[in-house]
A = this chain, B = another copy of it.
Amino acid sequence: MTLLLSLVSAFFLFISSSLCHPLDPLTPQEIHTVQLSIQTSHSSSSPNITFHYVDVDEPEKHHVLKWSSSNRHHAPFPTRRAKAVVRVGGKTHELIVDLITGSIVSDQVYKGYGYPPFTFEEFFKAIRLSLKHPSFQNSILRRGLDLSEVSCLPLTVGWFGEAAKRRVVKVTCFYRNGTSNIWARPIQGISLLVDVEENRVLSYSDRPREPLPKAEGTDFQRQRPSPVSCSGNNNKITITGNSVKWASWEFHVAFNARAGHIISTASVFGRRVLYRGHVSETFVPYMDPTQEWYDRTFMDVGEFGFGRSASSLVPGMDCPAGAVYLDGHMAGTDGSAQMVPRAICIFELYTGNVAWRHTEVGVPGKVITSGEAEVNLVVRMVATVGNYDYILDWEFKKSGSIKVGVSLTGVLEMKATKYRNSEEIRRDIMYGNLVAENLVGNYHDHFITYYLDMDIDGEANSVVKSELRRKRTKAGERSRRKSYWTAVKETVKREGKGRFEVGSKAVDIYITNPNMKTKIGNEVSYRLISGKAAVSLLADDDYPQRRAAYTKYQVWVTRYNRSERWAGGFYADRSRGDDGLAVWSRRNLGIVNTDLVVWYTLGFHHTPIQEDFPVMPTLYDYFELRPANFFDSNPLLQS
């Protein structure tokens, strides 16, 4: 639920001849082609077609690689097709559209569990229906509130064992009271269940139990740019279409309605590192089992989409002066092309640190200080999913590292309470902390899971687990030491062993290419440097956990499969956990010297505090893919 009002129809702005990479996102013209083809073929059966997913039908990886490794003029450009998921007459259709001819290549009805993502229009319709609902209007009047000051939010409802037969949202409302902070005054007790396809309120409940929080001083409207004027040498960033060259890096960046931004075919010094990387799913379960909160177990990417939630970036505030911006295009509810201006920014960043340094005093008569200030390239987007804002960074280092960072900010999802002071709370279980008078910030988690199709010097890769283990010295070693540690390396054979916890043991994870050696015979590899430890604490048999079972480990490795990109399954809304990473991993395929995908989850357990009110200071975590015997020596000295 984001920049609807700033979305601009942008038909015919580009023509398909401007394509320069097989993984380029759909152009507005191509989106239009998809819309026309599907409308033409289905309008006779139903006038109401809603478009839930329109994307490039990802070409076969070997076609893309053949094209990109060739001289770019000789190898054939892979077939350009679109994949669309639409709802027609209460059914989910999966279509493939040929973008050259405009013809429908295939059209199948999906019959499994779960629904495709909601669209903006569906959310807005649910809000309009709620605001017009007579019982709702009565409740608002009864509370002495002004209807024109009410904002509502449709929430996905998860799955809790029922036989889900409708696409529904639960609408919950807030009182703005003249402010621009809609979140600070939840109108506790009111909720409406809305069928977004039948356009009707299925049920209404009003259990007024808690006062409306006064919530004073909640406005925070302002934009404060950096007082530091930071101008990178942006002329060094070469952007051709969606292809980016900077320092020794080359990669492709695409805006995507579901994933947000996607990095593809990333190579450093002409050597392949990452075929594709993007956010695969998020899981945000709230820790309040009561009637109005138990079902807040969001999977934002699959239920709505990070790209759809993209904020137009604010120059100087979201990205520094001198940043380059890319617009994003996606299909609206009716299939027409919509634009998000400045959806992605790309900028050079002086991190404030050094990339390397050394002061040497051991050469007689000299003090030699050498080093280099660290300047990275950042590719950023911001997804604002209702109250929360996620700042999503891909940071490329001249050292060959890729640092993937997420910052959490925005506004807490809060609950009204009768308590005005923590000291009044005696026996009540709060499921959160009092963050302001009459407002509880409920406990919750954020799990942001990344899809990382690693191709270290080619597709055939392995994963090596290096465990640091204590050894005791033996009498024969005649050492005065009693112990030391050594790295015990083991190639992980199967998917079932390719699941790792973070932080509990001294274990390093390497993605290696067993067919490639450095000049001195080390296997080329990248090391995964993990972030903070945080896995889901929910019980395995709990419904939300069954749907997001992949959050039990922070690292998974699976064999590459073109159809497996969404850790929570493609049809995440009301899913039952029968698709997704945890299921795929159970096949236990071999993962030695083959095409691999690494899945990494950045996790945050959030126990809200007063500082998070009315808007939260950024909370950051990252992981890093760092070359380890990938180069023959420090690549920073080669640039």
Contact with B along A526-570 (1 / 0, CB 8 A): 010010111001110111110000000000000000000000000
A359 contacts B by Cβ under 8 Å: yes
Residues of B within 8 A of A226 (CB): 350, 373-375
A506 contacts B by Cβ under 8 Å: yes
A382 CA / B369 CA spacing, docked (Å): 11
Residues of B within 8 A of A518 (CB): 610
Contact of A542 among B232, B233, B400, B482 (CB under 8 A): B482
Which 5 A-B residue pairings sit nearest by Cβ, starting from the closest?
A503-B503, A226-B373, A422-B521, A289-B479, A483-B539
Besides A320-B350, A481-B542, 20 more A-B contacts (Cβ < 8 Å) are A3-B361, A151-B363, A223-B372, A225-B373, A228-B232, A295-B480, A351-B351, A351-B352, A354-B391, A355-B618, A356-B616, A357-B391, A359-B389, A361-B384, A472-B539, A481-B544, A483-B545, A611-B634, A613-B633, A614-B634
Residues of B within 8 A of A633 (CB): 217, 436, 610-611, 613-614
A498 contacts B by Cβ under 8 Å: no
A224-B618 contact in complex given A353-B407, A358-B389, A378-B352, C-beta closer than 8 Å: no
Shortest beta-carbon distance from A469 to chain B in Å: 8
- Chain B: CB-nearest residue to A542: B482
A399 contacts B by Cβ under 8 Å: yes
A203 contacts B by Cβ under 8 Å: no
Shortest beta-carbon distance from A397 to chain B in Å: 8
Q: Is the CB of A357 within 8 A of B317?
A: yes
A58 contacts B by Cβ under 8 Å: no
A634 CA / B436 CA spacing, docked (Å): 11
A356 CA / B407 CA spacing, docked (Å): 9
Q: Is the CB of B221 within 8 A of A368?
A: yes
Contact of A359 among B3, B363, B433 (CB under 8 A): B3
Q: Which of A230, A371, A478 has the most CB of B within 10 A?
A: A371
Contact of A223 among B318, B369, B487, B634 (CB under 8 A): B369
A410-B618 contact in complex given A180-B368, A633-B613, C-beta closer than 8 Å: no
**What is the number of residues of chain A that contact chain B, defined by CB distance less than 8 Å?**
164
How often does this chain occur in the complex, in copies? 2
Q: Which of A318, A349, A436, A607 has the most CB of B within 10 A?
A: A607
Residues of B within 8 A of A134 (CB): none
A469 CA / B539 CA spacing, docked (Å): 11
- Chain B: CB-nearest residue to A421: B521
A288 contacts B by Cβ under 8 Å: yes
Q: Is the CB of A503 within 8 A of B533?
A: yes
Shortest beta-carbon distance from A332 to chain B in Å: 15
A315 CA / B116 CA spacing, docked (Å): 55
Q: Is the CB of A362 within 8 A of B151?
A: yes
Q: Is the CB of A607 within 8 A of B225?
A: no
Shortest beta-carbon distance from A345 to chain B in Å: 11
- Chain B: CB-nearest residue to A469: B537
Residues of B within 8 A of A609 (CB): 522, 527, 627-629
A231 CA / B320 CA spacing, docked (Å): 13
Shortest beta-carbon distance from A221 to chain B in Å: 5
Contact with B along A583-612 (1 / 0, CB 8 A): 000000000000000000000010101111
